Amino acid sequence: MQEKLEAFITEFVRCYNEKSEARSNWEEPIFAYADAMDPLFNGLKTVIGEYHKLPEDIMKDAKTVISYFIPLSKAIADSNVPGYFSSEAWVYGYFETIDLINGINNGLKKLFELDGWMLSVTADHRSWDPLTMKCDWSHRHAAFIAGLGTFGINRGLITAKGVSGRIATLVTDAFIKPTPRPTEEFCLYKRNGSCGLCLAKCPVSALDVPDFYDNKKCMALTYENADKFKAIGFADVCAKCMTGVPCATKKPD
Sole binder of ligand SF4 in the list 70, 91, 142, 198 (CB under 6 A): 198
The stretch among 29-37, 68-76, 104-112, 244-252 that binds ligand SF4 (CB under 6 A) is: 244-252
Sole binder of ligand SF4 in the list 188, 226, 236, 249 (CB under 6 A): 188
What minimum distance in Å lies between the beta carbon of 213 and ligand SF4? 7
Residue nearest to ligand SF4 (CB): 152
240 secondary structure, DSSP code: G
Which of residues 5 and 187 has its CB atom nearest to ligand SF4 in the complex?
187
Strand pairing partners for 53?
none
Sole binder of ligand SF4 in the list 103, 107, 182, 196 (CB under 6 A): 196
What minimum distance in Å lies between the beta carbon of 49 and ligand SF4? 20
How far is it, in rounded angstroms, from Cα 247 to Cα 161?
Answer: 8
The widest CA-to-CA distance across the chain, in whole angstroms, is: 50
Sole binder of ligand SF4 in the list 26, 94, 189, 229 (CB under 6 A): 189
Which of residues 49 and 83 has its CB atom nearest to ligand SF4 in the complex?
83
Q: What three-state secondary structure class fits 52?
A: coil
Are the CB atoms for 206 and 214 separated by under 8 Å?
yes
Helices (H), 26-167: 39-47, 55-58, 74-79, 88-114, 139-146
Q: Cβ-count burial of 242 within 10 angstroms (0-12 exposed, 13-18 middle, 19+ buried)? A: buried
- With the C-alpha atoms ordered 25, 122, 2, 140, is the resulting torsion angle positive or negative? positive
Binding site for ligand SF4 (CB under 6 A): 152-154, 187-189, 195-198, 202, 204, 206-207, 218, 221, 238-241, 245-247, 252
